[in-house]
Amino acid sequence: MSADLLHTPLHALHLELGAKMVPFAGYAMPVQYPTGILAEHRHCRYEAALFDVSHMGQLKLIGDDAARALETLVPMDVVDLPVNKQRYAFFTNASGGLLDDLMITRRDDHLFLIVNAGCKDADLRHLTTHIGARCTIAPQPDRALLALQGPHAVTALARLNFAVTDLSFMTGGDFVLAQAPCFVTRSGYTGEDGFEISVPAAHAVTLARALLAQPEVKPAGLGARDTLRLEAGLCLYGHDINETTSPIEAGLNWAIQKVRRPGGTRAGGYPGASVIEPQLATGPMVKRVGLVGLERVPVREGAVIVDAQGHKLGHVTSGTLSPTVFEPVAMAYLAANHAIAQHEVYAEVRGKRIPMRVSPMPFTPHRYHR
């Protein structure tokens, strides 16, 4: 593996645990541990799994004008976000495409942002260029990020600090865990109940060991993280969404609050509003959909989707053989007139046409603690 890859604070622990390391977004990251992706995936669905997501970008926006400033870059309601509430958001460009998706949490005296690893340098430039004069933008490179996910995550974490049980989905707070001051949100990327824990890098290994010592918890890598989020119908930036995809094409309309839509008190005012607002009203020409395979053949990213006559309808952006529903599942973009539930289409896989059916997402139910 390339020597110039960055390491997270847990790198030595991953090696100790027997992880297979791969390059990802400039970091050496664990793709799986000796038990394998399938076992890790299922352990997360039924018990609790610990993921190292320290490669993600963490930053603060500080200043009285931070929320209004950020609203010039995202079509979300940031101004009215209550303290310790979290919101899914995305940066848009002038053509209505997605520059990145992110999480925003309102704190007492700042906004806390988590951005994707592969986009964090570009996001920092974007923020600095456009709103750097209106608020202080403070990256947090000295912090690690752990994700504890699964139905028993709360049981395990509560042994370190019972007060975490008070959190509900998309809320956060400050907690001491294994003697480390942490900021914890009840959120994640698996469709399960769980927590994301921002911890000082110097305390990350101690906290990870304390969590792994809990009988419910096992480590999981990027491989299981990807299959879990796909089953949950969650987009992966750079695959299911990118700078040429609009949030409406991606089915992310739900993330744009009423106050930021046409007729709302703070409508528009973000990049690409002139493209996104008409799509909100009339619908897009293409849509992200879920697909379930009717034969046990995995359909991977890049596969072309055609109709019965062989006419191209779209393409697959993510696909796997689902460890939970035991069927091939995929996300794809299809022409809107074919993006209809139960509609049958075909994926071209190694010269064969594999029948698939348009299916609602998520493929497995979300189990968030609301």
Q: What is the CATH number for 318?
A: 2.40.30.110
Asked if residue 59 is part of any domain, the answer here is no
Whether 148 and 227 map to the same domain: the answer is: yes
Whether 31 and 175 map to the same domain: the answer is: yes
Asked if residue 207 is part of any domain, the answer here is yes
With a CB cutoff of 8 Å and minimum separation 6, the contacts of 240 are: 250, 288, 317, 318, 331
The confidence score (pLDDT) of residue 66 equals 98
The confidence score (pLDDT) of residue 1 equals 63
Whether 261 and 119 map to the same domain: the answer is: yes
**CA 269 → CA 51, 76, 131, 244, 262, distances in Å?**
37, 11, 13, 20, 11
Mean pLDDT of the chain: 97
In angstroms, rounded to a whole number, what is the distance separating the alpha carbons of residues 361 and 240?
14
The confidence score (pLDDT) of residue 344 equals 96
- Band (pLDDT 50/70/90 cuts) for residue 234 is very high
Q: Which structural domain range is residue 315 located in?
A: 285-359
Whether 324 and 337 map to the same domain: the answer is: yes
Whether 308 and 249 map to the same domain: the answer is: no
Asked if residue 3 is part of any domain, the answer here is no
With a CB cutoff of 8 Å and minimum separation 6, the contacts of 16 are: none
- Band (pLDDT 50/70/90 cuts) for residue 13 is very high
**CA 286 → CA 56, 300, 301, 320, distances in Å?**
30, 19, 17, 22
Whether 33 and 81 map to the same domain: the answer is: no
For residue 263, the domain's CATH number is 3.30.70.1400
- For residues 92-120, average pLDDT: 98
- Band (pLDDT 50/70/90 cuts) for residue 189 is very high
Whether 272 and 307 map to the same domain: the answer is: no
Q: Would you say residue 22 has pLDDT above 80?
A: yes
Asked if residue 256 is part of any domain, the answer here is yes
- For residues 158-184, average pLDDT: 98
Asked if residue 238 is part of any domain, the answer here is no
Query: With a threshold of 0.95, does the pTM exceed it?
Result: yes
Quick: pLDDT tens for 32-88: 999 999 999 999 999 999 999 999 999 999 999 999 999 999 999 999 999 999 999
Strand partners, 24: 27
**CA 277 → CA 35, 237, 244, 272, distances in Å?**
47, 22, 16, 9
Asked if residue 168 is part of any domain, the answer here is yes
Whether 155 and 38 map to the same domain: the answer is: yes
Share of the chain above pLDDT 90, in %: 99
- Band (pLDDT 50/70/90 cuts) for residue 2 is low
Q: Would you say residue 3 has pLDDT above 80?
A: no
- For residues 133-148, average pLDDT: 98
Quick: pLDDT tens for 104-116: 999 999 999 999 9
Whether 45 and 154 map to the same domain: the answer is: yes
User: Tell me, what amino acid is at 282?
Assistant: T
Asked if residue 322 is part of any domain, the answer here is yes
Whether 175 and 252 map to the same domain: the answer is: no
- Are the C-beta atoms of residues 178 and 92 closer than 8 Å to each other? no
Asked if residue 27 is part of any domain, the answer here is yes
Number of domains in the chain: 3
Q: Is beta strand 48-52 parallel, antiparallel or unpaired with respect to 217-219?
A: parallel
- For residues 283-311, average pLDDT: 96
Whether 221 and 327 map to the same domain: the answer is: no
In angstroms, rounded to a whole number, what is the distance separating the alpha carbons of residues 216 and 46?
9
Whether 265 and 151 map to the same domain: the answer is: no
Rounded to 10 degrees, the C-alpha dihedral 238/243/244/249 comes to 80
